[in-house]
Amino acid sequence: MISMRVLTVAALGCSLLLSVTSALSQAGSTGGIIGKHGKSVSGGEEPAKPPRKRSSASAEGGARKKTASRCPNIVGTWNSWASGLFGRGDTTFSKDGTATHRSGIVGKWFCEKGKLHIEWPDAKPGIVTMSDDGKRLITSDGNVHMSRD
């Protein structure tokens, strides 16, 4: 009988000890299960964080940011210098920033700091500008790189 009493008293003691420990650990905590989230240690509210500005990246510029509207829209089919060999409309500029030529060559295009860049595997032509009529892409040395109808 004594051993049964000892076990009962020990079980009650452990149960009481766990209850007190749980209550004490909760009383001094900040946040926890009870308490306000976003509260600082001093008891004040954390200042609200300003919303993040969204990037104005354009689908036309691939993964790079488009700067204002200074870069022209070149999405579509163009005639390269090799269109006599591969046929008219031999080059396509896609919205995702890729450039493909019928020959199988793949390049990329993007707008950076208001300048339009076209890069083929040989890294040429680099920065290009569009003619006022929107029908020619002109290299920095004044040559026509592409044209469209």
pLDDT tens-digit map of 76-132: 999 998 899 999 999 999 999 999 999 999 999 999 988 999 999 998 899 999 999
pLDDT digits (tens, 9 = 90+) for 55-90: 444 444 443 443 345 788 999 999 998 899 999 999
Domain boundaries, the chain: 59-147
- Position 149 scores a pLDDT of 85
Show the 3-state SS of the chain: CHHHHHHHHHHHHHHHHHHHHHHHHHHCCCCCCCCCCCECCCCCECCCCCCCCCCCECHHHCCCECCCCCCCCCCEEEEECCHHHHCCCCEEECCCCEEEECCCCEEEEEEECCEEEEECCCCCEEEEEECCCCCEEEECCCCEEEECC
This prediction's pTM: 0.53
Mean pLDDT lowest among 11-15, 100-104, 134-138? 11-15
